[in-house]
Amino acid sequence: CLDNKEKVHEFGSSWRTEDCNDCSCSKSGIGCCTSYMRPVNYDEEKCESIFNKETCSYKVVEKDDHSKECPVHSWVG
């Protein structure tokens, strides 16, 4: 398989992209999906979600104090 960066991957292989997508190569081609869950049900007036590209995850914190996490009631991925 040839990915969008022109890198060749063997059939049966899998990898994580720099954009935090999990991909795999099969004889039918390349399939990719996000490797993370996105927060969708939290207090958006008081809190904000911050994506950490190194861990491929979101953290939801208070806008005025990033050391305080906010409760998240639903995640989608």
- pLDDT digits 0-9 by tens, 24-55: 999 999 999 999 999 999 999 999 999 999 99
Residue carrying structure tokens 């190194």: 54
Q: Which CATH number fits domain 1-35: 2.10.70.10, 3.60.15.10, 3.90.25.10, 3.40.50.970?
A: 2.10.70.10
Q: How many CA atoms lie within 13 A of 48 on its CB side?
A: 8
CATH of 38-76, one of 2.20.25.590, 3.40.50.920, 3.60.9.10, 2.40.50.100: 2.20.25.590
pLDDT of 77 higher than 90: no
d(CA 18, CA 68) in angstroms, rounded, equals 28
Q: Report angle CA 49, 69, 40 to the nearest 5 degrees.
A: 40
One-letter identity of residue 68: K
Q: What is the pLDDT of residue 17?
A: 93
